[in-house]
Amino acid sequence: MQRSSTKVFVIICLFPLNQAALPLVINTWNFENAANAAWSALQKGGSVLDAVERGCSQCELEQCDGSVGFGGSPDERGETTLDAMIMNGDTMEVGAVADLRRVKNAVGVARAVMEHTEHTFIVGESATIFAENMGFMSEDLSTNKSIAIFSQWLQQNCQPNYRKNVFPDPSKSCGPYKPKAKLWKPKNPNGNFDPSSHDTIGMIAIGKNGQVAAATSTNGATHKIPGRVGDSPVAGAGAYADSTAGGAAATGDGDIMMRFLPSFLAVDFMRNGAQPTVACKTAISRIKKYYPNFFGAIICANTTGGYGAACNKRPGFSQFPFMVVNPQTNQSQLQKVDCF
């Protein structure tokens, strides 16, 4: 009996649940249905591009945490706008849209940019016109909830907001704002980003032969200045895919994170031999050097199916959840990493 128990223990140690396996789907946050939708696409014979598009589209439909899809994160005018990107790691093609209005399926429009134009990025009203021409339905992105969020913000003298070095004092009143000649110290040098207001979905899919694709979708930061674009739709910032190395996707304070291209950095670290967790931590550390209290996290996966994640520890954010599906789990599995 003792020998039999020992053999069982050895088998468990040899085949841990998080060992590398292909195909693989991994996405930011605890968006379980998105992971399952992407995995289902792969199981039905779809490509890795189909998988990441399907997964992000699922979040757009479900309005994941109110930070993806319609009806969330109204800007200073009360309008919800969407950003998304998709990247093919085999060809290095990218499609992206930002400040997209009146079209719910932002990641689908991003894929249309990639597959039906020679461009990479289309923004604003022109992105909406393009989407309509491609057959996407135009409809109001506002909901009762987003209207209520905007109304409450106005009643609170437009607090919080993303203005600085302007008058009237943005910490006390609404605009319109004008530049202030004499600069003062920012009210919060680490930014006023609220983690609960921004949970971008970033997703990586790796096929059984190592093909890599990545995608993101978000409605941006709540109360953002109209026209603001964060990291999510920017290749190398929000996500990056390269079938010779792996993929990565980031989430958090995009205004800060996009300055460091953390997804590109992480993939490049993996290209040079770093394991996914180490690549993720190194990319976060690069940002942390300049913004020690920033809000952000990143997921990484290599072409053999190894994966990892990392996040920056700050008040109210000590663990980062993410979803994983591979042949070992065969269904979405919630995992967490301790921030550092």
In this prediction, residue 165 carries a pLDDT of 94
Give the CATH H-level superfamily of domain 24-142+194-338: (Glycosyl)asparaginase (3.60.20.30)
What pLDDT, in 10s, does the model give residues 52-89? 999 999 999 999 988 999 999 999 999 999 999 999 99
Give 18's Cβ-side CA count (13 Å radius). 15
User: Any residues with CB less than 8 A from the CB of 150 and at least 6 apart, and which?
Assistant: 74, 78
Residues 264-285: b if buried by 16+ CB within 10 A, e if exposed: bbbbbbbeeebbbebbbbbbbe
User: Which one-letter amino acid corresponds to residue 156?
Assistant: Q
Residue 252 annotated as lining a ligand binding site: yes
Sheet of 246-252, strands arranged across = 239-242, 246-252, 296-302, 307-311
Q: Which residues are catalytic?
A: 200
Q: How confident is the chain (340 residues) per 10-residue block, as mean pLDDT?
A: 37 46 97 97 98 98 93 95 98 98 98 98 98 97 96 97 95 94 57 62 98 97 96 98 98 97 98 98 98 97 98 96 95 97
What pLDDT, in 10s, does the model give residues 131-154? 999 999 999 999 999 999 999 999
Peptide bond into 226 cis (omega under 30): no
Residue 254 annotated as lining a ligand binding site: yes
Domain boundaries, the chain: 24-142+194-338
In this prediction, residue 16 carries a pLDDT of 44
- pTM (global) more than 0.75: yes
In this prediction, residue 20 carries a pLDDT of 86
Contact 216, 233 (CB under 8 A): yes
For 99, the token pair is 């400040």
In this prediction, residue 181 carries a pLDDT of 78
In this prediction, residue 275 carries a pLDDT of 98
In this prediction, residue 183 carries a pLDDT of 59
Residue 228 annotated as lining a ligand binding site: yes
Residue 308 annotated as lining a ligand binding site: no
How many residues can be counted in the chain?
340
Contact 246, 90 (CB under 8 A): no
3-class DSSP assignment, residue 102: coil
Q: What sections of 44-88 are H helices per DSSP? A: 48-62
- Eight-class DSSP state of 235: B
